[in-house]
Amino acid sequence: MDGTIRIDRERCKGCALCIEFCRKGCIRLSDDLNLKGHFVAAFDDDKGCNACRNCALMCPDVAIEVCVP
Amino acid sequence: MKQLMSGNVALGEAAILSGCTHYFGYPITPQNEITEYMARRLPGAGGVFIQSESEIAAINMVLGASAAGARAMTSSSGPGMSLKQEGISYLVADELPAVIVNVVRGGPGMGSIAGAQSDYFQATRGGGHGDYRTVVLAPASVQEVTEIVPLAFDLADRYRNPVIILADGILGQMMEPVDFDGLVRPPDYDKPWVLTGAKDRPARKIHSLIFDVKLQEEHNWKLQRKFRLIEQSEVRCETHLTDDAEMVVVAYGIGARIAKGAIKRLREEGKKVGLLRPVTLWPFPVQALRDLAKTVDDFFVFEMSAGQMVEDVRLALEGQGRIHFYGRPGGVAPMPVELYRIVSRHYLQAHADGEGRPR
Amino acid sequence: MTADQAATTVFARPRLLKQADFHYCPGCGHGIINRLLMEVIDEMDLQGDAICVAPAGCGMLLYNYFEIDVIESAHGRGAAVATGIKRVRPQNLVFSYQGDGDLAAIGTAEGIHAANRGENLTVIFVNNGVYGMTGGQMAPTTLLDQVTTTTPAGRDADLAGHPVRICEVFAQLDGTAYLERVAVNKPAAVTKAKKSIRKAFQCQLDGRGFSLVEILSPCPVNWKMGPIEACRWIDDAMLDYFPLGVFKDVTAC
């Protein structure tokens, strides 16, 4: 099943737990700084996200929404 | 219908008749009869009694029960009251009603188990942290308990503030005829702030942490405005034989009972001594004292302590008149004759000094 | 196709979480636990019944996040405050949220005695092995040899005693009904933790008695680790001393 996630960049604190627990390597820490000064996580939609929701389960800031088309 | 009852038991019965539904307390002498009475009587009256694991737990159970809308009460003495000070500070900050009874015993430390009046500072100055006040009511007879207790619950609900009833070990134990027929249950107040579950309404919060100091200051001024209002509206005191008095004894609670005995003897000898008995220790009857100071030069403060209320008398009089003091700390209850002798000596001295002085 | 077009959301922010950003440190377990609580309360349709008692500690600002009635308690007093509330309103779901200091140090008497009386309420106990809010001092749950600001040479049993196992201690009390230790350091554990919270609330709704869920939670900043390392440390160091599992369950009968 294809999946996609949306990351709320202003809530993200760059803790990278989503990156650690994504089994497909869909998420990376970007060079983007948000208003709070954190490097935010970014989603790559070409890595085969399967909407497993691990990232959202682990996100301590509830910054991730997971969708399936 | 009059019945013979101890002060402690009357405190419990009056609380139930005033609508108290939740009592939490820990055993400590000389107030155990309150706890035991509530254990016997409250469940049958539809209320909840818990013997808590400590006085700290009890005051926090009162806080929770109050936040949920109940008329809640706890009672203690000495070291137990010290433990409750944090909880009292939180109750004030949260603007929650509560009634806390202190049946005062000798202190400091473990002290004694005899009645005393050594917790005046703790009660009136606020023994907990922060800028706050609690109404402090001092009954002087078992019958007066039936007026003080409903008043305490009423003021607590009306002002959303804890109220302390400052009794003592003698009043707690002594048996006097008491009649509850005149006790009027305070009305129920609308409480739009209680925590009942956010059903069909926005969620509510009760908290006292305010990081922003300007907002914390605002909250403090709001509480202070409440205290000013209480000071204007809720002072209560009794005057006894003050119309022609040349010396006025100032005493409260059991101290006033002893003083009345002393004054009886003094009057038999023609000494013109009266009594001002504060009923609200906070707010203190400042104006009543100042009014008396227009015609009275000598004020004799008597307390069963090393001297605490005497400071409030000094503050109220602001240099007017002369202030005499006699006190016995530790739980010693002087007989009226002892107080009579001391007051008598001071009275004669004051007359000797005062001859010919301008009014 | 972007996420906006004709997509089905399979994971969204719980509606019972207010919009405020969490003040917690990056990688802190409180954020996960806060979310789980609001998910469960929403799924069980308990918003109108729930009353939360918040602690002193990092969890003290719950009233900024939870769309339910919340009262702040003095440090350690949560179980007593919750007792007062529940005894007035037994029909409500009453739970306290307490950290290591709140429950295992200053509030131990209140916690043990609420449990001993079998008060029909739930304690959510967040065990992150340190005092977070005050800057990382030793907690009763700090492990031996663990370095904290008040055990700079590592916790020494002679000076500071051994870590306290709350679930095991509370299991000795007859008034307890359901006690489980879980963790939030990986997705499967988080899912398990959510089930445990749900079970504890159900235990209360069924009037079975006192329930407690102890949740091993990462505190990266005070452990002086990154978030991922902190999650691993729970597995590598904490689980030996604080095993996961059920320590009491009368609901199974």
CATH number, domain containing residue C39: 3.40.50.970
Q: What is the domain range of residue A45?
A: 4-67
**Residues in Cβ contact with B35 at an 8 Å cutoff, skipping those fewer than 6 apart:** B23, B25, B26, B27, B51, B75
**Are A5 and C6 in contact (CB < 8 Å)?**
no
Share of chain A above pLDDT 90, in %: 96
- B353 pLDDT more than 80: no
Counting the structural domains of chain A, the total is 1
- B355 pLDDT more than 70: no
Q: Select the residue of C61, C81, C93 nearest B60 (Cβ to Cβ).
A: C81
Read off the pLDDT of residues C111-143 as tens digits, 9 standing for 90 and up.
999 999 999 999 999 999 999 999 999 999 999
Looking at every residue in chain B, the average pLDDT score rounds to 96
- C197 pLDDT more than 70: yes
Q: Is residue C139 part of a domain?
A: yes
- B139 pLDDT more than 80: yes
**Amino acid at position B116, single letter:** A
Read off the pLDDT of residues B290-306 as tens digits, 9 standing for 90 and up.
999 999 999 999 999 99
Q: Select the residue of C2, C3, C32 nearest A58 (Cβ to Cβ).
A: C32
Quote the CA–CA distance of A63 and B16 in Å, as a whole number: 52
Q: What is the domain range of residue C139?
A: 29-252
C68 touches chain B (CB under 8 A): yes
B70 touches chain C (CB under 8 A): yes
Mean pLDDT of B2-30: 97
Determine the 3-state secondary structure of C53 from DSSP.
strand
The answer, yes or no, to whether the previous bond of B139 is cis (omega within 30 of 0) is no
Q: What is the pLDDT of residue A69?
A: 85
Quote the CA–CA distance of C93 and C34 in Å, as a whole number: 16
Q: Is residue C93 part of a domain?
A: yes
Structure tokens that stand for C54 in this block: 């918040």
Read off the pLDDT of residues C63-113 as tens digits, 9 standing for 90 and up.
999 999 999 999 999 999 999 999 999 999 999 999 999 999 999 999 999
C204 touches chain B (CB under 8 A): no
Q: Select the residue of C6, C24, C227 nearest A17 (Cβ to Cβ).
A: C227
Band the pLDDT of B356: cuts 50, 70, 90: very low
**Are C89 and B196 in contact (CB < 8 Å)?**
yes
Cβ contact A–B (≥3 pairs, < 8 Å):
no
Please, what CATH class does the domain formed by B2-233 belong to?
Answer: alpha beta
- pTM for the full model? 0.93
CB burial readout B236-248, b (16+ within 10 A) else e: bbbbbbbeebbbb
Domain with CATH 3.40.50.920 in chain B: 238-354
Beginning with the edge strand found earlier in the chain, give each strand of the sheet holding B205-206 in spatial order.
B205-206, C69-72, C50-54, C93-98, C122-127, C210-216, C176-183, C245-249
Beginning with the edge strand found earlier in the chain, give each strand of the sheet holding B237-240 in spatial order.
B237-240, B273-278, B247-250, B298-303, B322-327
Tokens 């967040």 locate to C126
Neighbours, chain C (3 or more CB pairs < 8 A): A, B
Structure tokens that stand for C177 in this block: 């009904």
CATH code linked to domain B238-354: 3.40.50.920
C5 exposure class (CB count in 10 Å sphere: 0-12, 13-18, 19+)? exposed
Q: Is residue C24 part of a domain?
A: no
Counting the structural domains of chain C, the total is 1
Quote the CA–CA distance of C57 and C87 in Å, as a whole number: 25
Among candidates B53, B42, B50, which has minimal Cα distance to B15? B42
Determine the 3-state secondary structure of A27 from DSSP.
strand
Mean pLDDT of B90-112: 97
Domain with CATH 3.40.50.970 in chain B: 2-233
**Are C84 and B61 in contact (CB < 8 Å)?**
yes
Quote the CA–CA distance of A38 and A32 in Å, as a whole number: 8
Q: Select the residue of A10, A58, A67 nearest C187 (Cβ to Cβ).
A: A58
Read off the pLDDT of residues C10-66 as tens digits, 9 standing for 90 and up.
999 999 999 999 999 999 999 999 999 999 999 999 999 999 999 999 999 999 999
Tokens 């935010």 locate to A40
- B168 pLDDT more than 60: yes
C231 interaction partners in chain A (CB closer than 8 Å): 17, 20
User: How many separate helices (H) and strands (E) can be counted in chain C?
Assistant: 10, 10
